[in-house]
Amino acid sequence: MDRRRFLTSAALAAGLPAVSCVSANRQAHPSYIKPIVGSWFEFEHHNQVGAKYWNQALPGFTTEQWRAKIFEMHEIGMEYLVLLSVAYEGKTYYPSALQPRHDFVCQDPLEAVLSAADECGIKFFVSNDYWADWRKVEKAMEEETIWYIREKGMEETAEKYAHHKSFYGWYYPNESQLHQVFDDLSVTYINRCSRKVHALMPDAVTLIAPYGTQYVRQDDRYIRQLEQLDIDIIAYQDEIGVQKTKVGEAGKYFEDLYKMHTKAGRSRLWADVELFEFEGEVYHTGALPASFERVLQQLADVSPYVEHILAYQYQGMMNKPGSPAYAGPESSEKLYTDYVRWLNTSRHE
């Protein structure tokens, strides 16, 4: 999915290579449906129209509500959370010397969620952006003035929060569209971000989530790019929610990716499964939870080929009934309840 378009207004993931892990799982469980083990996470969604059913709740969350949301997600097996952004439109989601802070009830949401994650064992990929206009992707990837504040922001974030054991890695949210392969600018951007990560936190794990998955085919050029990319995990978007891929089709794309990742032997292969659907026109209306039946088929499609499945996203699309940190429409309870019922059943099969 072009997640920037999902985020735009209506007016407009170190470790062992995935190869051995995925191969072993395919041999042992050729039809095994993997559960969701992580999700994207946000303090505020950028698209007020798309997020109209949950965005208004988040700025009012107290420290205890942010903590409750982390424990709620851990309760259903979430092991990884990917923070979408640390800044947006010239303001940060934590106390910063670089930009003013968003006017949230909780004074430091990042500290709140990382502290809760420390306690329950969740691993966070912390975003290194959006310090400038996230809509202007190429500019964000190449302009030196943006690189300056991005890297200063990474230094500040690491200084303030790297002591948390839950600060597992970094996520680069300026997404790359795949036109069969990555463009050269994206490769340069990814590798430069990783050089900064290695200098700040040498043991941190790095993750990206490109879109355009349906355009990737087995290609020696792509294998060579994978060999050149300094990134630990690539969680490809299945693009079902944005209707670029149909249910039942994503598996063939991930099978090709599995074969190329196996040959490259470098980045781990994960999936980014979209839990939403739009109530009307794609990108320009509110996002609602998809049916569990659709989500289950999405999980089945990619399970044979990936190490782990992440979701975009728990917030807004799932809520535990009675949650003290409720954000989303009432239908989010049904997706939560249906998923948990399946999860509990599958654990005992």
Looking at residue 46, its amino acid is H
What is the H or E stretch that residue 147 is in?
helix 144-161
CA 14 to CA 334: how far, in whole Å? 36
Domain-embedded: residue 345: no
- E strands, 42-141, in order: 80-83, 87-88, 91-92, 123-127
Burial classification of residue 348, based on how many CB atoms lie within 10 Å of its CB (0-12 exposed, 13-18 middle, 19 or more buried) = exposed
Average pLDDT over residues 235-250: 96
Helix axes 63-75, 109-120, angle to 10 degrees: 40
Q: What is the pLDDT, as a whole number, of residue 348?
A: 59
Residue 46 pLDDT class (50, 70, 90 cuts):
confident
Domain-embedded: residue 343: no
Query: In the predicted model, is pLDDT for residue 18 greater than 70?
Result: no
Residue 3 pLDDT class (50, 70, 90 cuts):
low
Q: What is the pLDDT, as a whole number, of residue 217?
A: 85
Q: What is the pLDDT, as a whole number, of residue 19?
A: 36
Domain-embedded: residue 131: yes
pLDDT in tens, 173-225: 998 789 999 999 999 999 999 999 999 999 999 999 999 999 998 999 999 99
Domain-embedded: residue 230: yes
Average pLDDT over residues 63-88: 97
Q: Report the candidate in 52, 125, 49 with the shortest Cα–Cα distance to residue 84.
A: 125
CA 121 to CA 114: how far, in whole Å? 10
CA 10 to CA 333: how far, in whole Å? 26
Burial classification of residue 220, based on how many CB atoms lie within 10 Å of its CB (0-12 exposed, 13-18 middle, 19 or more buried) = exposed
Looking at residue 101, its amino acid is R
| Percent of the chain at pLDDT exceeding 90 | 85
Question: CB–CB of 186/208 below 8 Å?
Answer: no
**Phi/psi-derived region of residue 77, left when phi > 0, alpha when psi is between -120 and 50, beta in every other case:** left
CA 209 to CA 184: how far, in whole Å? 17
pLDDT in tens, 102-148: 999 999 999 999 999 999 999 999 999 999 988 899 999 999 999 99
What is the H or E stretch that residue 41 is in?
strand 36-41
Domain-embedded: residue 146: yes
CATH of the domain at 259: 3.20.20.80
* Residue/partner pairs of 156-160 with CB below 8 Å, 24 or more apart: 156/96, 156/97, 156/98, 157/86, 157/94, 157/110, 157/126, 157/128, 158/200, 158/201, 160/94, 160/111
- Domain span at 24: 3-335
Domain-embedded: residue 191: yes
Query: In the predicted model, is pLDDT for residue 29 greater than 50?
Result: no
Domain-embedded: residue 342: no
Domain-embedded: residue 141: yes
Question: CB–CB of 101/94 below 8 Å?
Answer: yes
Strand-pair category, 268-274 with 276-278: unpaired
The residue written with tokens 């709140």 in the block is: 112
Number of domains in the chain: 1
